[in-house]
Structures are given as structure tokens and as C-alpha cells.
Amino acid sequence: LPLLSRQQPAWADLADRLEGLLASAALPADRLELEIDEDLLLYDADRGGAGVAALKRRGLRLAMQGFGHGPTSLRGLRMDVLTTLKLGRELLQAVPDDRQASALLGAIIALARDLGLRVVAEGAESEPQLAFLRERGCSAVQGFMSCPPLPADACTGWLQATLKTARPEATPRLSSAAG
């Protein structure tokens, strides 16, 4: 979800509000990961980067959401506030059948991992895509292969079961073993 728009630059207020909400819920800050669109992260960086830095100082994990959707800048990967890179589904659509798409996605995953980022692929829809991602060290997936669409009551049960076994970096894991 986009966290803020350019018309809502209340980053410091957001950081304070989130810190209070986490404290009232007795939830450690590192259990919450905020997904922020790449263009908003770069917008903040162009203005000194104080907004996302305030979130990071409070221990929140930050994910660049939708990388590869539309124009993408490698500059965003250099932001030391990021913990996760979420790859847009557009990068995965032709994988593994298209050699160029596969080479590009493999290189992006390797680069992100070399930068110490957790990598989540959005839109994994097939076993060959999962195998490709697993072989290249992708951390997690979002899509039909990790959890198909569910009605609200089933979603609540799935979420509760997932949270019981979740690690701090938890999103549905990309391993064939439980855990």
C-alpha cells in the first residue's frame, strides 16, 4: 500500500503516531514493515531524506514497493534506510520462459541481496516462477502461489496461523520446507 502521497509530507508526525500505536499494542517496531512506493522514497530523498530516516530511527522496517513497475531508478536501491525490495509483478511475468527477462530479474535479485536487502517478488503465479525465484535466492513471494484470494473470514484465520509461526522478517517464505 502506498504509505503517503506527495500531498501528505507529515513524515515526522507519522513516525510519532506509529511509535505510539506500536507501544500501545506492545508490538516491537521491527515487527512492522512499511511499504513505500519508489517514487515517494525518491521524492523524500530529494528533500534531504528526513522523512524515511525518522521512520527508520524508530526501528521500523521499510520496503520499496513495486520496483520495476514503470520507470525505475537504481538510485533508490542505495538508500540505507531500506530493509526490503519488493519486485513488481511486471518483472516476473515472462520469467522463466524469456531469456532476457530472466537475466534481468536474476541480476536485480543478486544486486539487492548484495546490498543486504530482503527480496520479495510480487505476482508469483506458477511453479516454474517459484523455482526460478528460489534458485536465485529470493526471500519471499506474494501471489497466488503463496496464498490464493480468500474470503474475509478465511483470511483472518490464515493471518492468525501465519503470525503464530512468523519470524520478524516474515512474509510467506519461499522454501519448500516448513518454517
The answer on pLDDT for 148 being more than 70 is yes
Could you tell me the three cell numbers for 174? 519461499
Residue 173: what pLDDT?
Answer: 46
pLDDT value at 11 more than 70: no
**34-68 as b/e: b if 16+ CB within 10 A:** bbbbbbbbbbbbeeebebbbbbbeeebbbbbbbbb
Per-residue pLDDT of 18-59, as tens digits, reads 889 999 999 999 988 988 888 888 888 887 788 888 888 889
pLDDT value, residue 176 = 37
Q: What is the pLDDT of residue 101?
A: 96
Between strands 118-122 and 61-67, the pairing is: unpaired
- What percent of the chain is modeled with pLDDT above 70? 85
| Confidence band for 6, pLDDT divided at 50, 70 and 90 | low
pLDDT, one tens digit per residue, over 70-109 is: 777 788 888 888 999 999 999 999 999 999 999 999 999 9
Residue 136 neighbours by CB under 8 Å, 6+ apart = 105, 106, 109, 110
